[in-house]
Structure 1
Amino acid sequence: MSSVCLCKTVSRAAANELVDALQAHGYCYLKHDAVSPTLLKEVKTRGRNFFTSLYPSLSEFHKESLRTEMGYRGFYRYVGASGRDDAIDCFSIGRDIHDPQRLRQDYYASAGWESSEYMPKISRVNPWGPLLEVSPNAGREFQQTLLTYYDACHEVSMDALRHIACALGIKPAQNNGEQLPDDAIDEDYFVSNHSKRDHNLEVKFYPQLGRVARSKPIAEVRGASEKNPTGPKVLRRKTASAEPLLPMAAASPGSSTDRSARNASPSTTPASSPLVRLDKHSDLSTITLLAQDVMGGLEVYDETKEAFIEVPVLEDALLMNAGMFLERWTDGFIEATPHRVRSVGTEDRCSVVFFCFPNHDAVIDPMLQANDNPALAQAASFTAGDMMPPVV
């Protein structure tokens, strides 16, 4: 598959190519000036070095300072699909500000939480301190690389969402009955709901099975959701109101359950293969940007054929797939991509994953097919934070 080149100026051709790829394959490759091949190589190299060199050099005291029971802003460990001896190590950061509680406190307050329940959790800053104290040079290089990459991924994500809005033909809201041109497009419709830049960047390390001793905290990826029907490309904003959805369980920000089929060629690896490290799931994000090392290992699922296809690695491009927020927003027209990770060869695997999240207090208003009656709509509006893990 060729890559889609994006920039701030929306190209209708690139917009259609991007959405067509998401619908046909469940993913697409992106090239963007904000993420150069040099930056991609650097973030993957420093990410691997964190787990093979920097983190092991820390004392137990400093390691404990990095660990997070929330699976966010710090070090934590998944239980992989092969059981409790299958450890997947993760280091996560969010937007690097000194008062991160301001990103989510409005949502939690309006949702009726007591301040003591949420403030200690949403106030957690990125834990650079132990790294800079023990290994100033390596820690600073790791910090600067991740922060540069975080900002670059935000820029890529926003430009991707502008192109998606263009391809979907999202119309601007009408004020006081104003007449809009037939070709008017609200390119910033999705972007405006991501204004807080409140995302999650994770470096994930998959060591060979049995090579890493168990440690706490251990988080299991879980969750549940429904499938929505698809519709034509011309979409408009929904005006009917409805009750919000209930919160969905998920231990790791950005991960949830398996989803619907994709048109893909089958893989020779059965779904029950012991080499599977992260079982079939879809991302709890708007979109996800992935940089994986040359080992690869990502596979997307075709439910009709009950088989997976291995996703090839393009080392000079980002791989993008749709998340569950985008599926809900488009009422299933763009579906969240079901995928899994398995071991390839005998070496360790490292990937860097950027989960693009909407603002916690953003209202996700599922769009209707053109000419639909809002009174007959089945998809309910909800606040994004209602779908996020409440522990985050």
Structure 2
Amino acid sequence: MTEALSTPSLPLIDIAGLRSSDPAARQAVARELRSACERCGFFYIHNHGIDAGLIARVRAEAEQFFALPSASKLAVDKALSACNRGYEPLRGQTLEAGSPPDLKEGFYIGIDLPEDHPSVLAGRFNQGPNQWPADLPDFRDTMNAYFAAAYELSALLMRGLALSLELPEDHFAPFVTDASATLRLLHYPPQPPQPAPGEKGCGAHTDFGAVTLLLQDDAGGLQVQAIDSDEWIDAPPVEGTYVVNLGDLIARWTNDRYHSNLHRVINRSGRERYSVPFFFTGNLDLQVECLPTCLAPGEAPKYLPVSVEQHLAECYRRTYG
């Protein structure tokens, strides 16, 4: 494959209009979203509404967590959780089939449900309590506050996506209600001078769910594959923005009109890299089937209907074995 292009070419969208009482302002943002989603499924957003102070606290807490001694991190190892919550050690996931495990460590946070919650008792996929590090007193409150803010922003984007697909603005309300979501803290060591063949911080993959909000530091390393080519496009950090990408659920829903695109991370900065993706995956019970506005006359859906829960379980099975 070719090296990354030197000039990033992902759209930058001001989403302030989605909060406007003026329908024309909301439709103007929706048109930009449609163009970006049809083009590559990746774009930057600004005027997103998440407080900069909260973002700074999340970054600081994430760096402090990954700086903890190994024993402290392993005390909240994801292996101790029945719902994939907690610490994931270095090389704990392989996102690109046939490549070495990813050169990153992580921490998973979801909606915190007690052991006696009906969804937990029923064994619903990835439903249960979070694990929290004992050594960081502000970690839990900070991450819960950020989770709520990212959830609200994801719901806003789903309204914009509905408009972009010529659907009622509240079309995705059942998907957003009682939605599943995952906040993930990631730490990437520098890429080794002589990596194993195919070794990367994060192998080429598409995301599982609907919408991903990515908070990057200034190290860079995110690359997106151009549609219909093998060129890798840099998606460098842009202050005050998120990188947003669509996941496989949106591709299924739109019959691939909107793209869930391959992306990867190679940390060539020579220093530590930290990122915080928020994966919005939706109501587990909802059936995802091709939207009527995404079928031309005589065209058939490419995908069979599937529940959000079934889809997520299969995606996790592929990457964790």
Partner of 1:3: 13
Cα distance in 2 for partners of 1:360, 1:160 equals: 19
Q: 1:328 to 1:42 in 2, by over 3 A?
A: same
Partner of 2:85: 73
Q: Is the 8 A contact 1:4 1:17 kept in 2?
A: no
The Cα offsets for residues 69-99 of structure 1, whole Å up to 9 and x where unpaired, read as: 6682111132467735x64111001012435
Cα distance in 2 for partners of 1:276, 1:76 equals: 17
Cα distance in 2 for partners of 1:279, 1:87 equals: 9
Output aligned runs, 1:184-223, within 5 Å: 186-209=168-191
Partner of 2:297: 372
Give how far 1:337 is off.
Answer: 1.7
Q: Is the 8 A contact 2:66 2:187 kept in 1?
A: yes
Cα distance in 2 for partners of 1:146, 1:328 equals: 30
Say which SS state the counterpart of residue 68 (structure 1) adopts: helix
- Partner amino acid, structure 2, of 1:72: N
Partner of 1:93: 109
Give how far 1:326 is off.
Answer: 0.6
Cα distance in 1 for partners of 2:224, 2:31 equals: 21
The Cα offsets for residues 114-154 of structure 1, whole Å up to 9 and x where unpaired, read as: x5xx36x75531112xx23xx2xxx2322112111111111
The Cα offsets for residues 249-281 of structure 1, whole Å up to 9 and x where unpaired, read as: xxxxxxxxxxxxxxxxxxxxxxx9856321211
Cα distance in 2 for partners of 1:194, 1:285 equals: 12
Cα distance in 2 for partners of 1:208, 1:100 equals: 42
Say which SS state the counterpart of residue 137 (structure 2) adopts: helix
The Cα offsets for residues 266-320 of structure 1, whole Å up to 9 and x where unpaired, read as: xxxxxx9856321211000101010011001110002533110110211211110
Determine whether 1:127 maps to 2:131. yes
Say which SS state the counterpart of residue 219 (structure 2) adopts: coil
Determine whether 1:50 maps to 2:47. no
Determine whether 1:155 maps to 2:152. yes
- Partner amino acid, structure 2, of 1:37: A
TM-score by length of 1: 0.66
Q: Is the 8 A contact 1:71 1:92 kept in 2?
A: no
Q: 1:353 to 1:15 in 2, by over 3 A?
A: same
Partner of 2:75: 64
- Partner amino acid, structure 2, of 1:341: V
Unaligned runs of 5+ in 2: 1-10
Q: Is the 8 A contact 1:34 1:155 kept in 2?
A: no
Identity within the alignment, %: 23
Say which SS state the counterpart of residue 46 (structure 1) adopts: helix
Q: Is the 8 A contact 2:103 2:199 kept in 1?
A: no
Determine whether 1:321 maps to 2:245. yes
Cα distance in 2 for partners of 1:311, 1:48 equals: 22
Cα distance in 1 for partners of 2:301, 2:268 equals: 44
- Partner amino acid, structure 2, of 1:152: A
Give how far 1:49 is off.
Answer: 1.8
Cα distance in 2 for partners of 1:96, 1:274 equals: 36
Give how far 1:389 is off.
Answer: 1.9
Say which SS state the counterpart of residue 199 (structure 1) adopts: strand
Cα distance in 1 for partners of 2:285, 2:180 equals: 11
Partner of 1:287: 211
Cα distance in 1 for partners of 2:112, 2:120 equals: 14
Partner of 1:39: 54
The Cα offsets for residues 191-211 of structure 1, whole Å up to 9 and x where unpaired, read as: 32121132011001111357x
Unaligned runs of 5+ in 1: 106-114, 171-185, 211-271
Give how far 1:100 is off.
Answer: 8.1
Cα distance in 2 for partners of 1:381, 1:339 equals: 26
Cα distance in 1 for partners of 2:221, 2:83 equals: 22
Cα distance in 2 for partners of 1:194, 1:83 equals: 35
Q: Is the 8 A contact 1:44 1:291 kept in 2?
A: no
Cα distance in 1 for partners of 2:117, 2:184 equals: 20
Say which SS state the counterpart of residue 357 (structure 1) adopts: strand
Partner of 1:345: 269
Partner of 2:4: none
Q: Is the 8 A contact 1:37 1:317 kept in 2?
A: no
